[in-house]
Structure 1
């Protein structure tokens, strides 16, 4: 975890040792979440699993929602890559959307937990929610091949709505993430080719 993204928590900049502690906490959160679900997840339980004092864990994470939001943020940054500038526009956009749709496919309880966490009122979660939205928007704009000042805001918003609506459908269990990814790519292709 040498990426600068992981060295900055929502509350403050981190030293390498602090970043390591946060890494242990998020790894433990993934394990506990997988075993106990969002309802069974607590910051104390995660701290115990990570071998960290609960008070230390609370210096980094204000709530279990904050912890899950951070876990998702890290997966997002690791799993959704900059579009290949050599690829054509449609391939760039559909690749980014597919990466977004499949991000939590094999993560058991994470998909539902992220939905619950990101909809919460915790100010630290609100901060991460803005970072997540900004990151997704930047990847979509990069994929479209325009700079933010030149981008077609309506097209970017339409692609964001396609993505968020698709993930809600998958999160509600209507379809698998793999099937949603395929449908999302088909919808984006229609939108871009239309």
Structure 2
């Protein structure tokens, strides 16, 4: 997976700076929450100048969306020996839904960030969506048609928004997502 930041191609030193910023952002996010997070705070925690941080991230939404993208891109799609496309698809949906479940501060921030209007976030939404779509198509195999994939994408997006709004935990939402997808996918 291509892990370069969304705004530019990176040298090794620049990639290290971006890594430091995304790691520091997790610490600041855990302490301050998304509402209290600022690029300035993250830059300070990473030992980087604020102007340098803004060179890589246009907003806190962009920074959080990048964190989610990196988490998704670094996580291989689940491997299933099952010949059943429904079982493989449910496994993919659960894995993606649980990607940030153990980090409530990041989970809530991701929902807010991905709904933002920042053009750099829009770019990441496209990358994230394309990766999720690819995983669903691979899992569905011969059952992958446009309508099925789009319906599963809508189920997934709606489930994560509900989790981000605090209606249920990510684990509960993942279970509900599986149940709903199973209803849809069963012949």
State if a TM-score over 0.5 links the two structures.
yes
Q: Does structure 2 conserve the Cα–Cα contact (< 8 Å) formed by 1:140 and 1:156?
A: yes
CA-to-aligned-CA distance 1:11-41 (integer Å, 9 cap, x gap): 1111121111100000000110111011111
Deviation at 1:85, TM superposition (A): 6.0
Number of matched pairs: 186
Partner of 2:161: 168
Distance 1:184 1:108 in 2: 18
Unaligned runs of 5+ in 2: none
- What are the equivalent positions in structure 2 for 1:1-194 lying under 5 Å apart? 4-6=1-3, 8-79=4-75, 81-84=76-79, 86-88=81-83, 89-146=85-142, 151-194=144-187
Moved over 2 A (4+): 81-88
Distance 2:144 2:100 in 1: 28
Q: What SS class does the counterpart of residue 10 from structure 1 fall into? A: coil
CA-to-aligned-CA distance 1:112-160 (integer Å, 9 cap, x gap): 21122112111111111111111111111111115xxx83100001111
- Which TM-score applies when normalising by structure 2? 0.93
Distance 1:151 1:94 in 2: 14
Deviation at 1:82, TM superposition (A): 2.6
- Which TM-score applies when normalising by structure 1? 0.90
CA-to-aligned-CA distance 1:67-100 (integer Å, 9 cap, x gap): 1110111111123x23436322122101110011
Q: Does structure 2 conserve the Cα–Cα contact (< 8 Å) formed by 1:83 and 1:139?
A: no
Tell me the C-alpha RMSD between the 2 structures: 1.6
Q: Does structure 1 conserve the Cα–Cα contact (< 8 Å) formed by 2:111 and 2:160?
A: no
Deviation at 1:189, TM superposition (A): 1.7
Q: Does structure 1 conserve the Cα–Cα contact (< 8 Å) formed by 2:65 and 2:110?
A: yes
Q: What SS class does the counterpart of residue 104 from structure 2 fall into? A: coil
